[in-house]
């Protein structure tokens, strides 16, 4: 490595010494002291920062109240301020002619610069235009615009008059935009005639027209002219030509006094349930956190030319193109184009022309440029650079090193930033003058962020050199306050699964030095090219196509994007799979969501694996795409030249596989002509080594229930000749007609019916389906058993889950066999339903043994006339 920043023994790159001399945080000891105080005394730590860095109309009484687990956090109580005043007015007083925004247009040479004075005037004109149209404090305004300066004017104008902005990325489809307009009940939309990106023209006004068609609550569409295309149609009833409207209004607008907890903006992010979540951020906490994280992460200095080349349609653009830099009074660059237009030297050209000092982009772009080699970079002078940031997803070590060595010439600090829409700003990041770097690590938590690593049950895992799920213990100013219009969803998504903690949804590893490495999403959200995309949203789009019966979407490793989109699709009966169908489905996603969500791989399949609750088992699909299973290959199989065959038997164990049959308590059952649970005693080369990102889950799933053994999860019979017959899953998952159905989901559906007190579901042999569904049901007091009740319960399951889960047998009983601890004994139910009541054994240990003879009688009665 280079002389200026060598690598220490443990793989750490020291901070850049030249930066440390003038940095806000000059060494690791200063960081540790400030971090400790931020956790122990948040009231004064954040209170002092708020008073030092923001201008207030009215001082606040208290810094923070509430707790993470209750979702009642509030910051800077009774304080009043205005975001636009803090981002513009106060800087005009000090340096009116300083450049606030450099706009780098799609075509080189067509950009412009906006001073802080000009920014104030343009913001006020937009604010007055909104007020003239009837926009009031608290109203929601949608923004669907390209990366032109006017998007900043509109966002800041909203904050000036107290309107709530909802920026929608201009790559979203008309349908996606429409959904967001409806969810936020948005009466006003800002857009542009067209957009420009990478030499292409984007029909933004046309998309908005489709989105608002039939939405009577939309009062106006404000249209800025980007291309001045005369063919773009204007509707005189609702459209407002902003080029003309701006000329009508004063360049002054008084700023509203906003309470600290007033809603500032809504930003939609993907959720695992399909419907995007409107993440709601409030005024003072968000602004302070965006400002302070921007200041310390990029060590902002007055003469910096700061360039974040993201889009304002995402949280990165909100926090680190608009609000963070402008609150700090620096010059921020807005980039309309792509890193590859007109060629792959575009980034390096703008850095050289503007002498950019702090540069912020995504690993996807870094990897794409790395793939093009180093020759282009050598054509440009990048010596102005001091800090290089990475955002949107974890950056792989190879890309990190290229960014550091080739782009930064080993003279720049790499700020690998970890955060989310919901956090408002960086929560894991190194500080340039203080924190040693590690490739692939976001290093340490930011001030006020109390990281907690837990197992999948929410129990904290202490110490270092551990892996688990990443949570946060204490509130911080930038945290989202709610999901717009659905606070219960906010609590369920972030606060319910890990009691007393905010759950990030990400897995992580904390190494021996206490450095954090983000291992990826635990929920069903993909991060492709820095965009968060809900698998459910893509699945719903696919299923909306007439040829699709069902779909499952997962992420796959992608050399450029980091994570690609893989779609497993089951077609409706009668439709044959073909390349044409695959292309049509890709186009369906592009059209309904946007090109950024375009699938990288479509796999047409006859069926999909599902969890106990009926949720698609993406773990299985991920294993398949990586060409692996837990066992790595066959463990029970006959060899063609050696093993006599038996119909229905996997015959004998493969080399190295030491099968063990146990009872349900994990005790080995020796000999032949036995039945039990199948385990393996000794390791074999092909066995899986862990569950990625969660070794504790691996141990709990496979090694904890049957001490000293690997538990397959399957039941088996070993006949008198020592041949093995797999009898099926014993973990409460049925496989009927190829569908995996969780017994718990069927039970919950039955119990949801008003006549049902309790239910237990098991599998029964079925000559067509392989495994049928048998439901033992106890009714509430006063309801008499009848054929009508049985039919009604069958219909209940069909209606709520699907026809494929339709019960084959419903047995109405007065009680269920349970252990003394209250657990339902499905083993007893299986024996009875299979006609093996003679082998039940001693039932006196049951909580109520008297239920057994009634179960036998009622089951036999229910089976009359049935043929499975």
DSSP string, 774-822: EEEEEEPTTPPP-HHHHHHHHHHHHHHT-GGG--SEEEE-S---B-TTS
Residue 538: CB atoms within 10 Å: 26
> Three-state SS for 764?
strand
> Three-state SS for 401?
helix
Are 218 and 188 a contacting pair, CB within 8 Å? yes
Dig out the tokens for 339 from the structure: 């890193």
Altogether, the residues listed in the chain come to a count of: 868
pLDDT attached to residue 366: 92
For 659, the enclosing helix (H) or strand (E) is strand 659-662
**Among 628, 626, 687, residue whose Cα is nearest residue 656:** 687
Give the distance from CA 154 to its chain's centroid: 28
| Cα separation, 386 vs 246, whole angstroms | 39
Are 76 and 285 a contacting pair, CB within 8 Å? yes
> Three-state SS for 204?
helix
Cis peptide bond prior to 597, omega within 30° of 0: no
Beta-sheet strands, E only, within 89-231: 99-104, 112-115, 140-144, 164-167, 188-192, 195-197, 200-202, 220-224
| Cα separation, 773 vs 729, whole angstroms | 14
The long-range contacts involving 785-792, CB below 8 angstroms and separated by at least 24 positions, are 785/812, 789/755, 792/753, 792/755
User: What angle in degrees, to the nearest 10, is found between the helix axes of 743-751 and 787-800?
Assistant: 120
Residue 32: what are its φ and ψ, rounded to 5°? -60, -40
| Cα separation, 245 vs 128, whole angstroms | 10
Half-sphere exposure of 274 (CA within 13 A, CB side): 9
pLDDT attached to residue 635: 57
Are 425 and 419 a contacting pair, CB within 8 Å? yes
Are 387 and 412 a contacting pair, CB within 8 Å? yes
**Among 679, 687, 678, residue whose Cα is nearest residue 630:** 687
pLDDT attached to residue 350: 98
pLDDT attached to residue 52: 98
Dig out the tokens for 497 from the structure: 């699964």
| Cα separation, 653 vs 643, whole angstroms | 11
The long-range contacts involving 662-668, CB below 8 angstroms and separated by at least 24 positions, are 662/706, 662/709, 664/827, 666/705, 666/706, 666/707, 666/709
- DSSP state letter for 86: I
For 661, the enclosing helix (H) or strand (E) is strand 659-662
> Three-state SS for 743?
helix
Contacts of 545 (CB under 8 A, 6+ apart): 584, 585, 588
Sites in the chain below the pLDDT cut of 70:
1-10, 270-275, 523-524, 536, 610-620, 622-641, 643, 648, 727-733, 738, 740, 742, 821
Torsion, Cα of 36, 42, 47, 48 (10° steps)? -10
Half-sphere exposure of 499 (CA within 13 A, CB side): 2
The long-range contacts involving 699-702, CB below 8 angstroms and separated by at least 24 positions, are 700/456, 702/630
Beta-sheet strands, E only, within 283-330: 305-308
* Bridge partners, 78 (sequence order): none
> Three-state SS for 94?
helix
Query: pTM of the prediction?
Result: 0.68
Torsion, Cα of 152, 154, 157, 162 (10° steps)? -110
Residue 227: CB atoms within 10 Å: 16
| Cα separation, 113 vs 338, whole angstroms | 19
For 739, the enclosing helix (H) or strand (E) is strand 739-742
Q: Does the CA dihedral 477-413-416-146 come out positive or negative?
A: positive
**Among 479, 460, 467, 461, residue whose Cα is nearest residue 419:** 479
Are 207 and 144 a contacting pair, CB within 8 Å? yes
Contacts of 234 (CB under 8 A, 6+ apart): 223, 241
User: What angle in degrees, to the nearest 10, is found between the helix axes of 28-40 and 42-53?
Assistant: 110
Are 585 and 548 a contacting pair, CB within 8 Å? yes
Q: Which domains does the chain have, with CATH numbers?
A: 31-80 (no CATH), 81-504 (3.40.50.12780), 529-625 (3.30.300.30), 636-729 (2.30.38.10), 734-863 (3.30.300.30)
Q: Residue 631: left if φ>0, alpha if ψ -120 to 50, beta else—which one?
A: alpha
| Cα separation, 110 vs 344, whole angstroms | 19
Dig out the tokens for 342 from the structure: 């007109």
| Cα separation, 868 vs 809, whole angstroms | 10
| Cα separation, 795 vs 495, whole angstroms | 35
């Amino acid at each position: 490595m280079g002389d200026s920043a060598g690598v220490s023994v443990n793989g750490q790159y020291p901070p850049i010494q030249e930066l440390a001399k003038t940095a806000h945080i000059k060494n690791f000891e200063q960081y540790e002291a400030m971090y400790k105080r931020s956790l122990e005394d948040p009231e004064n730590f954040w209170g002092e920062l708020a008073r030092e860095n923001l201008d207030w109309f009215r001082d606040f009484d208290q810094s923070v109240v509430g707790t993470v687990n209750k979702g009642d956090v509030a910051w800077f109580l009774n304080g009043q301020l205005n975001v636009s005043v803090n981002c513009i007015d106060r800087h005009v007083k000090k340096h009116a002619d300083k450049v606030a925004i450099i706009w780098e247009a799609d075509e080189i040479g067509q950009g412009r610069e906006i001073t802080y004075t000009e920014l104030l005037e343009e913001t006020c004109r937009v604010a007055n235009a909104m007020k003239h149209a009837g926009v009031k404090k608290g109203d929601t305004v949608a923004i669907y615009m390209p990366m032109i300066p006017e998007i900043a004017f509109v966002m800041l104008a909203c904050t000036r008059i107290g309107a709530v902005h909802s920026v929608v990325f201009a790559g979203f489809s008309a349908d996606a935009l429409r959904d967001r307009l409806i969810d936020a009940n948005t009466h006003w939309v800002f857009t542009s005639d067209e957009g420009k990106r990478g030499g292409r023209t984007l029909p933004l006004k046309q998309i908005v027209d489709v989105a608002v068609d039939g939405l009577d609550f939309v009062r106006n569409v404000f249209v800025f002219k980007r291309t001045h295309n005369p063919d773009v149609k204007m509707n005189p009833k609702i459209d407002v030509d902003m080029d003309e409207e701006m000329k009508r209004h004063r360049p002054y607008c008084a700023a509203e006094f906003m309470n600290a907890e007033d809603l500032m903006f809504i930003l939609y992010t993907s959720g695992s349930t399909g419907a995007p979540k409107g993440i709601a951020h409030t005024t003072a906490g968000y602004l302070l956190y965006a400002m302070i994280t921007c200041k310390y992460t990029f060590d902002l200095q007055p003469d910096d030319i700061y360039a974040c080349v993201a889009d304002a349609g995402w949280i990165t653009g909100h926090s680190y193109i608009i609000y963070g830099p402008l609150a700090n009074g620096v010059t921020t660059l807005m980039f309309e184009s792509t890193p590859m237009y007109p060629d792959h030297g575009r980034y390096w050209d703008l850095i050289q022309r503007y002498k950019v000092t702090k540069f912020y982009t995504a690993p996807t772009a870094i990897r794409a440029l790395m793939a093009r080699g180093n020759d282009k970079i050598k054509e440009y002078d990048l010596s102005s650079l001091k800090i290089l940031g990475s955002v949107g997803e974890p950056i792989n070590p190879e890309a990190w090193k290229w960014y550091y060595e080739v782009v930064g010439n080993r003279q720049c600090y790499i700020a690998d930033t970890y955060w989310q829409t919901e956090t408002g700003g960086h929560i894991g990041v190194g500080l340039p003058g203080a924190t040693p770097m590690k490739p692939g690590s976001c290093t340490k938590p930011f001030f006020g962020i109390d990281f907690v690593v837990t197992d999948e049950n929410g129990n904290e895992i202490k110490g270092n050199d551990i892996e688990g799920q990443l949570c946060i213990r204490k509130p911080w100013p930038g945290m989202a306050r709610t999901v717009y219009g659905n606070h219960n969803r906010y609590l369920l998504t972030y606060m319910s699964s890990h009691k007393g903690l905010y759950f990030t949804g990400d897995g992580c590893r904390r190494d021996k030095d206490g450095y954090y490495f983000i291992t990826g999403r635990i929920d069903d959200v993909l991060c492709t090219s820095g965009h968060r995309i809900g698998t459910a949203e893509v699945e719903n789009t696919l299923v909306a196509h007439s040829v699709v019966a069902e779909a499952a979407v997962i992420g796959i490793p992608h050399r450029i994007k980091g994570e690609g989109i893989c779609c497993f699709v089951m077609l409706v009966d009668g439709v044959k799979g073909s390349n044409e169908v695959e292309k049509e489905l890709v186009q369906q996603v592009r059209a309904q969501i946007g090109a950024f969500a375009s699938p990288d791989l479509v796999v047409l399949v006859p069926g999909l694996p599902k969890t106990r609750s009926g949720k698609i088992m993406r773990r299985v699909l991920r294993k398949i795409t990586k060409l692996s299973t837990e066992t790595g290959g066959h463990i029970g199989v006959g060899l063609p030249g050696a093993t006599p065959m038996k119909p229905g038997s996997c015959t004998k164990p493969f080399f190295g596989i030491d099968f063990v049959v146990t009872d349900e308590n994990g005790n080995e059952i020796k000999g032949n002509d036995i039945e039990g649970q199948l385990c393996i005693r000794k390791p074999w080369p092909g066995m899986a080594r862990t569950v990625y990102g969660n070794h504790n889950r691996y141990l709990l799933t496979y090694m904890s229930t049957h001490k000293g053994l690997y538990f397959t999860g399957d039941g088996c019979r070993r006949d008198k000749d020592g041949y093995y017959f797999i009898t099926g899953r014993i973990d409460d998952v049925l496989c009927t007609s190829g569908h995996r159905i969780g017994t718990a989901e069927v039970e919950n559906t039955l119990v949801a019916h008003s006549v049902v007190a309790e239910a237990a579901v098991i599998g029964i042999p079925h000559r067509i389906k392989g495994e049928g569904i048998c439901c033992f049901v106890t009714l509430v007091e006063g309801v008499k058993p009848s054929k009508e009740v049985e039919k009604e319960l069958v219909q209940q399951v069909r209606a709520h889950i699907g026809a494929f889960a339709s019960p084959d047998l419903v047995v109405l009983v007065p009680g269920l066999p349970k252990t003394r601890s209250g657990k339902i004994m499905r083993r007893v139910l299986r024996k009875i339903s299979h006609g093996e009541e003679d082998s039940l054994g001693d039932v006196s240990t049951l909580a109520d043994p008297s239920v057994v003879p009634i179960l036998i009688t009622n089951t036999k009665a229910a089976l009359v006339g049935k043929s499975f």
